[in-house]
Amino acid sequence: MSSRQITIIANWKANLPPSEEVALAKEIAAGLEGALQASGSPSRLRVLLAPSALGLVPVASLLRREYPQAGIEVAAQDSSLSSAGAFTGEIPADHLVGIAPAVIVGHSERRRDHGESGEVVGGKLARVVAAGLAPVLCLGDNLPEAGIATRVAFVQAQCAAAFDAAERAGSSAAQLFAAGLVIAYEPVWAIGTGTPASVEIAEAIAVGLRSTLHREDLPVLYGGSVDAATAATWFGAPTKRTGLDGLLVGGASLHADRFVAIVRAALAAAEPA
């Protein structure tokens, strides 16, 4: 049985207003509180909710005030490339300290809709690390017909570009790892389609990234059309874990019952045999 921690992140994107995010967080926390407490090993499973920027504070406050024993955390969906200062509309990473312990960086929608290059993603990684927060680096390909080797090489190169840019911005690879870096593989061709990548593809990406970064303990998550019905397949049986360390969940996380089912599947894989 693997001792690696499993991480489940709910990315709510900009789907809900803050009041509905708070209500959803309450429903999820109520559905998981008993199960997470009963597991007796919270260090084996980490659950984070990533609400909108407007929902971060109210959701974090709710979880800490009403469900502290559940241990559910919040993550920011993004932070700015700039530091604190006269930058209208930006959210500097150091302003998230005390609110969100983790920040998603380089999500495919940010890359697509805001033109975030590897240079920008690396700069944001450096800002997140400098603030003392853990980055969740999203990597992915839009190569639906590619073979596994081609896909792995593409993601490895994307990762190298982000790491090189982070180094230029002041954060070495060692500092990224020390900050608690998590990588999420999200194939663009699978997001929102209802057809996820195969476990074989996701595991090959995980193995390839660990090899190129020389980090066998690097946590690698999968994200892209994850649903409750197939959640268990991403982890394998409790006595034989896959090479994946969790899930970045989009649409399914907007439904409390579906997200709770996904977390319960992860909990079964995280518990000792």
Q: Is 73 a catalytic residue?
A: no
DSSP 198: P
What count of Cα atoms within 13 Å lies in the side-chain half-sphere of residue 252? 25
One-letter amino acid for residue 224 of the chain: G
Nearest in space to 211 (alpha carbons), one of 166, 159, 137:
159
Point out the catalytic residue in the list 107, 109, 116, 203: 107
User: How many C-beta atoms lie closer than 10 Å to residue 30's C-beta?
Assistant: 14
CA atoms of 59 and 56, how far apart (whole Å): 5
The token duo for 59 is: 């959701």
**Cβ atoms 210, 218 nearer than 8 A:** yes
DSSP 94: G
Q: Is 186 a catalytic residue?
A: yes
The H or E element that residue 66 is part of is helix 56-66
Tell me the pairing of strands 182-185 and 134-139.
Answer: parallel
Q: What are phi and psi of 249, to 5 degrees?
A: -105, 130
Point out the catalytic residue in the list 73, 109, 116, 186: 186
Residue tagged 């999968």 (tokens): 222
Residue tagged 């518990």 (tokens): 271
Active site residues: 107, 186
